[in-house]
A and B are shown apart, each in its own frame.
Chain A
Amino acid sequence: MTTAAVRHLYVHLPFCAHRCGYCDFVTAVGREDQHGAYVDSLLAELGLEQEILAPRLETVFLGGGTPTFTAPDALARVLETLPAAEEVTVEANPETVTPALARLLRDGGVNRVSLGAQSFQPHLLDVLERRATPDVVREAVYLLRDAGFDNISLDLIYGIPGQGPADLEGDLAEAVALAPEHLSCYELEAKPGTRFTRAHGAELARQVDAMEDYFERVVDTLVSAGYRWYETANFCLEPERREGRDLRARHNLAYWHARDYLGLGVGAVSTVAGMRRRNKPSLGAYMRATRSGRRPPRELEALDDETRARERLLLGLRLDEPLDLGRVRGALDEQACARLVARDLVELSTGEDGPAMTLTRRGRFLGGAVTAEIVAWPAQLPAELPAQLSSELPAELPAELPSELVA
């Protein structure tokens, strides 16, 4: 494999105090005694992959799980050992934020915190099985501010069973009042098979129609509060509100720009030089392999040019900036594109590198369907792993690649 200068690093810290009902991430509840050993594994994996990282990284993102639930000394060790980067983000749950934690993050080079607020309504937090109360959420923001963090993101969830329009307006107002630099607003997805779907699926289905306009309400409210709707689910304060800073999440922008990234940790995904690798979600297998100096068991997926172009299209259309058509050549059905222009869902423009496209406001609400409409039907869908790649497979992996991953 050629040495690719990967500039974006994701680190997965899977531990949580409690698994929320709606969660389908790779998580592990409790296991405080394993945090140190897991960090050993993580750093061992980093050692194995070090060579593909660029000398200077642009972004590092610690996600989870609840990274801030990780034992403080273990978390500190991760932050110390990871290469420096221009943007270092850590996900945090409000109830884990203490002055000591804020200091630990600052000292560890973290300059951006993504806080899982989800809602400010106690009854909705209950439904989501979140442990923080609204006061705790606010308190966490103040603590982070006091510690000097000037780039805070809040996660909100809407479409919660029992959430009325007033609840939504309330959540947005509370969030805006805290003036975070960045907001991520996700519609609740009741993934099949989760505990949450079993408990609330029927109720969710009933209120689908009533909640149809929530997404529009979210966008309208935040945009009028001075936020830029720069990605389907992501908002950042306009530059003039923060001394001209571009407050978009640089790490996530790397995904949406279809750049290469390295993922470390159990269940983590990397995309490097046309190959997507997904570490298997078994914590035990991950730790066993890395402890003995091997790569963790993982699934490999070769991405040919056509597939990459399709990914650039589906990712790029999530953004508010024009997508250079040259980057998605072969993946775009131009006739369909013309039809959607006529329907006022897509706008064409001339960018620096030639023609470019952007979704209109309505087009963005319908982004999934619009993308399905304009993506060209692949002549041949990638079926199997090319033969020459099998030598890449870790020894313990069976010949065929089982896909036990759901996420």
Chain B
Amino acid sequence: MEQDRIRNFAIIAHIDHGKSTLADRILELTDAVPEREMREQVLDSMELERERGITIKAQAVRVLWRGHQLNLIDTPGHVDFTYEVSRSLQACEGALLVVDAAQGIEAQTLANAYLALEDELEIVPVANKIDLPQADPEGTAAELAELLGESPERVLRMSAKTGVGVEDVLDAIVERIPPPTGDRDAPARALVFDSSYDQYRGVVAFVRVVDGRFETREPLRAMAQGTTFEAEELGVLSPARVPVESLTAGEVGYVMTGLKDVSRLRVGDTLTSRRRPAVEALPGYQDVKPMVFAGIFPIDSDEYPALRDALERLKLNDASLSYEPETSHALGFGFRCGFLGLLHMEIVRERLEREFDLDLLITAPNVAYRATKRDGEVVEVHNPAEMPREVDTVEEPYVKASVIVPKDYVGPVMELATDRRGRFDHMEYLNEGRVLLSYELPLGEIVLDFYDQLKSRTRGYASFDYDLAGFRPGDLTRVDILVGGEQVDALSLVVHRDAAYDRGRQLVERLREEIPRQLFDVAVQAAIGSRVIARETIKAKRKDVLAKCYGGDITRKRKLLEKQKKGKKRMKQVGGVEVPQEAFLAVLNLGDERKR
């Protein structure tokens, strides 16, 4: 199809603001999906996505509307996937900005709208859910107009649920969003904006062709990573896969690569033909690095091989997940996993537990640190237990965080941000009731409990988004926990020096409660290097013997002993101390409890 008949667009919306419902309506109106196959939210194909109501993996759907080819490029809807969102947006010329008219703009919507504006996308603002009694289409339109510097009349009104206004939205896509302008005669270039793994066909790349033309069976190269392969099949999603002979500039489709590993073809890379290669790759490719790390251990050590297999399988579909074997003295064999952020971690954890039926113990998450040792060597540390004890400086990742709250909650939010070492950047009124606060915060504080605190201090009204802003030095220190004089590697943490004492004391107190009394006194300590900053003693038991044992009691006594012995087998040994699995769980859940 001619480029001037093509429109490539994304939908930007906050969770639950109606993106998936709108996508469903669009598919319906354009007859892309026969009604009997129509199930709610066709685009979110993973069970977990459907259940959580969020979109994890972006996909693209081609529909026809009044003589035009519309390619809807779905974007992941969460803060952890900013890079993927930006790649999806780069594949478009425009975006629908969908806002729940009953809720107003949320921080995340704002962040993604800014991304779209940076890419010079044409933004079509839409107030959704106008059928709701509490909807305020006028207020929402005013807010959107203010944000985009448009007139409120240009803001479309719609109810994706009832279908009212959806046709107008489709028309606006055709009218307002410009067609692609690629050079169809130039050497072929296509942007990889997503990929997935097909059990039988290998890696499937989702691409937007920018210049030239790709043919089936053409030898291809990914310009950033250098990976080469052949286009085994080209096709479009409508929404089922439909093979095509070629994809030309302006079009969106998929490429069957036959690759066996998603990490060999990363989102953001540029595909070109090896017959007539392009000279310059498309801009914006980044090697996305995990910033949040946690140890994942099977509760039952026999499940280690199952956990390894499960991670391998998840990794096929999730190039941003990283893991390497980790051996913890306290927790046994497991993996240290790297995630883009907390939600990414939660998703991986839930998929491991749900799809692979594993019982897991997950250590408190930490961020990546950059430590400069005394000899000048710089190391990146993903596990607090591996933080060198002698360091010159430690840097930690910072983020630019935006919080949108009703103005009554500005105080509590500022208090929280300051408490979490935030540096105030700016504040602006979005309208008379709602305020945007901008802070720079250490990612480590966010990983700890910032989001939950934010929600609880604003009664759930705050919305929050962040963007990585690089590494900064911090007065950070490693705190070790010792039981019976032996370090419990799984409980080491890196914290700001001011918080070290409190965190150490908390952990130590909790462990004292959780570890049963032993045959001898047990010291539970928190230490910075060799300096003990908190200490509790678990006093030895003074008696543990059954009073009576005569001829009629022997069998019962022996069975009791055998049971006791069996129980001991399930304990972890640290410093000669028997620590029940539950104690680790309780301590690792400490963060969860503080949220409540």
Contacts and interface: CB of A to CB of B under 8 A. Distances in A.
Interface in B148-164: none
Interface stretch (B218-226, B393-401, B544-552): B544-552
A385 interface: no
Given A189-B547, A269-B552, A366 B576 contact: no
Contacts of B552: 263, 267-269, 278, 407
A375 B543 contact: no
A333 to B, nearest CB: 10
A368 interface: yes
A151 to B, nearest CB: 18
A212 B564 CA distance: 21
Given A370-B519, A378-B562, A212 B543 contact: yes
A233 B550 CA distance: 11
Contacts of B548: 186, 189, 233
Contact of A232 (B542, B549, B556, B558): B549
Q: Is the interface of A mostly helix, strand, loop or mixed?
A: mixed
A365 B545 CA distance: 7
A314 B562 contact: no
Nearest to B557: A314
Most buried by A among B552, B557, B564, B576: B552
B545 A364 contact: yes
Interface string B532-563: 00000000011111111111111111100110
Contacts of B407: none
B547 A339 contact: no
A311 interface: yes
A232 B545 contact: yes
Contact of B576 (A212, A301, A339): A339
Nearest to A276: B555
Contacts of A255: 549-551, 554
A121 interface: no
B429 interface: no
A186 B547 contact: yes
B569 interface: yes
Contacts of B520: 343
Contact of B561 (A232, A310, A340): A310
Contacts of A371: 561
A363 B546 CA distance: 13
A369 interface: yes
Contact of A263 (B543, B544, B551, B565): B551
A377 B569 CA distance: 9
A381 interface: yes
A216 interface: yes
A270 B552 CA distance: 8
A375 B565 contact: yes
Contact of B545 (A212, A267, A340, A368): A368
Contacts of B551: 10, 255, 261, 263, 269-271
B568 interface: yes
B543 A366 contact: yes
Contacts of A310: 558, 561-562
A315 B545 contact: no
Interface string A296-316: 000001000001001100110
A314 B561 contact: yes
Contact of A369 (B541, B556, B558, B576): B541
Contacts of B557: 314
A71 interface: no
Contacts of A307: 558
A252 B550 contact: yes
A318 B519 CA distance: 17
A237 B558 CA distance: 30
Contacts of A85: none
Nearest to A343: B520
A33 interface: no
A180 interface: no
A212 B542 contact: yes
A311 B561 CA distance: 10
Contacts of A252: 550
Given A343-B519, A343-B520, A375-B565, A369 B549 contact: no
B288 to A, nearest CB: 49
A315 B542 contact: no
B555 A366 contact: no
Contacts of B568: 372-373
A301 B555 contact: yes
A196 interface: no
Nearest to A262: B551
Contacts of B555: 269, 276, 278, 301
Nearest to A63: B550
A314 B559 CA distance: 11
A339 B555 CA distance: 27
A213 interface: yes
A115 interface: no
Given A233-B547, A233-B548, A371-B561, A365 B542 contact: yes
A348 B325 CA distance: 43
A367 interface: yes
Contacts of A233: 547-548
A215 interface: yes
A332 interface: no
Contact of B544 (A10, A339, A369, A378): A369
Nearest to B549: A318
B547 A311 contact: no
Most buried by A among B544, B551, B556, B558: B551
Interface string B499-521: 00000000000000000000110
A373 B576 CA distance: 12
Contacts of A375: 561, 565
B544 A367 contact: yes
A187 interface: yes
A29 to B, nearest CB: 20
Given A189-B547, A233-B548, A365-B543, A315 B554 contact: yes
A345 interface: yes
Most buried by A among B546, B548, B556: B546
Nearest to A215: B543
B554 A311 contact: yes
Given A189-B547, A307-B558, A368-B544, 19 more contacts: A10-B551, A186-B547, A187-B547, A232-B545, A232-B547, A252-B550, A255-B549, A255-B554, A261-B551, A263-B552, A268-B552, A269-B554, A269-B555, A315-B549, A345-B519, A365-B545, A366-B542, A372-B565, A377-B565
**9 closest cross-chain pairs (CB), A and B:** A367-B545, A369-B544, A186-B547, A372-B564, A368-B545, A269-B552, A187-B547, A365-B543, A368-B544
Interface of B: 519-520, 541-558, 561-562, 564-565, 568-569, 576
13 contacts: A187-B547, A267-B552, A269-B551, A307-B558, A314-B549, A314-B557, A315-B554, A343-B520, A345-B519, A365-B542, A369-B545, A372-B561, A377-B565
